[in-house]
Amino acid sequence: MSRRRNLVVGWILAALVIALFVRLGLWQTHRAVEKEAMLDAAAKVLQRRDPQSLAAAGDAARAHTYDWATGSGQFDARDALLLDNQQRNGRAGVRAYRVFVPAQGGPLLVDLGWLPLGGDRKLPQVPRPEGTLQLRGLLAPPPSTGLALGPALGRDHEAWLMTRVDLAAIAKATGLPAPLAPRVLRLDPAMKIGYERDLALLANTLPPQQHRGYAVQWFALALAVLVTALILTFRKRRVA
């Protein structure tokens, strides 16, 4: 009875581990499909570049889609927002954002580009572009937040340092009179204002092929647990 009980307990544990590994593999596969669809949708928009109004950034129904947009307005006088832990060409830095108030529509975040961060982690200056400006670029969802641990942003001298782009937290902390649009304007790299940038969507996250690679690893681990359980089961039977 002891051996039989150990066998049952062992298979229960093996089944739970196999189920966990399979679930993780399926999640990685799902993320790969999601990101491929996202890249395809953005590529079509960038190929056509049919201009929409900046007011489209506030359309909650299109919060997870992409549009090429253009419009005039002014940058808000509030301090810059710098997203920490942003890599570019193997260098550490921050991504600079400012609130923009278009002539039509509510306020939205504008991605001004990437700036390097020195070893002393002194934040770079991000002067506010003055006057009425005509902007154009890709309306896109803000960068994925990942695990939301701790506050989204905090003061650092004359800027806000962000661990993630949390639009509601930004509006509250900076005292904006209206909520930010659910999409961010990623400036056309050809425009003269701003800093180093491109329109790559997965610069600081995993591409689809890497998700698939992880999925294969999880499925392989699930298979390894199953094979190990079978070997131990039949070995015990022969010994018995």
Q: What is the pLDDT of residues 25-80, one digit of tens each?
A: 999 998 888 888 878 888 888 888 888 999 999 999 998 899 999 999 999 999 99
Q: Is the dihedral of CA 121, 167, 55, 130 positive or negative?
A: negative
Q: Which of 23, 22, 28 is nearest to 212 (CA)?
A: 28
Q: Please give the model's pTM, rounded to 2 decimal places.
A: 0.75
The SS3 call for residue 74 is: strand
Number of other CB atoms surrounding residue 173 within 10 Å: 18
pLDDT band at 147 (very low <50, low <70, confident <90, very high): low
Task: Supply φ then ψ for residue 79, to 5 degrees.
Answer: -65, 160
* 110 neighbors 100 (Cβ within 8 angstroms): yes
Q: What is the 8-class DSSP label of residue 111?
A: E
The Cα–Cα gap between 78 and 80 comes to: 7
Residue-level pLDDT at 233: 81
Cα torsion for 191, 196, 199, 201, to the nearest 10°? Answer: -160
DSSP letters, 165-190, are --HHHHHHHHT-SSPPPSSEEEE-TT
The Cα–Cα gap between 240 and 223 comes to: 26
* 126 neighbors 159 (Cβ within 8 angstroms): yes
User: Where is 34: in which H helix or E strand?
Assistant: helix 2-48
Angle (CA) 37 41 42, round 5°: 120
**By CB neighbour count within 10 A (0-12 exposed, 13-18 middle, 19+ buried), where does 78 fall?**
middle
Residue-level pLDDT at 222: 94
Is the pLDDT reported for residue 240 higher than 70? no
More reliable by pLDDT, 240 or 66: 66
Is the pLDDT reported for residue 236 higher than 80? no
The Cα–Cα gap between 100 and 118 comes to: 28
Tens-digit pLDDT profile for residues 81-125: 999 988 888 888 999 999 999 998 899 999 999 999 887 788 888
Residue-level pLDDT at 74: 96
Tens-digit pLDDT profile for residues 200-231: 776 667 778 888 999 999 999 999 999 998 88
Q: What is the 8-class DSSP label of residue 196?
A: B
The SS3 call for residue 224 is: helix
Q: What percent of the chain has pLDDT over 70?
A: 94
Residue-level pLDDT at 198: 86
